[in-house]
Amino acid sequence: MAKYLLLKHYRGAPAAVNDVPMDRWTPEEVDAHIRYMTDFADRLRGTGEFVAEAALAPDGLWIRSDGEGRPPVTDGPFAETKDLIAGWMIIDVDGRERAIELAGELSAAPGKGGEPIHEWLEVRPLYGEPPLVTE
């Protein structure tokens, strides 16, 4: 019983095996990819392991406080930000092995030529609650 965040990157992850930008796929290949992602989430709903997911738009801003009484400073969007997250999914699974297994499946979503993309996904454990018994 542990929660994990699966992170998909637009940029910043090591190169995928089937590394062709999505706009160079056929429309059918795009459909197949999206269907795979939807089916994956539905399957996790069915196994009782799904918590939440979201896709993120690439346009973002950097914001920081500029001191009391002043509006926050904004910067960006930066077209060349090295690390750009495309989306995330939170799963609730029995352990690390299962999280790795599921991330592996998600990474095999079909891309160009209907072949699995084999893209790199980042898997991050969420902090849990402190156990009562530690001694």
Site residues for other proteins per CB under 8 A: 1, 3, 45-52, 92-94, 125, 127-135
| Burial zone of 83 (CB within 10 Å; 0-12 exposed, 13-18 middle, 19+ buried) | exposed
- Please state whether the peptide bond connecting residue 77 to the residue before it is cis, i.e. omega within 30 degrees of 0: yes
* Closer residue to other proteins (CB): 98 or 118: 98
Instruction: Determine how many CB atoms are found less than 10 A away from the CB of residue 109.
Output: 21
Shortest gap between Cβ of 42 and other proteins (angstroms)? 11
Q: Which is nearer to other proteins, 22 or 55 (CB)?
A: 55
CA dist 42 and 36 (Å) reads 10
The Cα–Cα gap between 34 and 117 comes to 13
Shortest separation between residue 38's beta carbon and other proteins, angstroms: 16
Q: Which is nearer to other proteins, 67 or 131 (CB)?
A: 131
Closer CB to other proteins, 59 or 97, in the complex: 97
Q: Quote the least distance from Cβ 15 to other proteins, whole Å.
A: 28
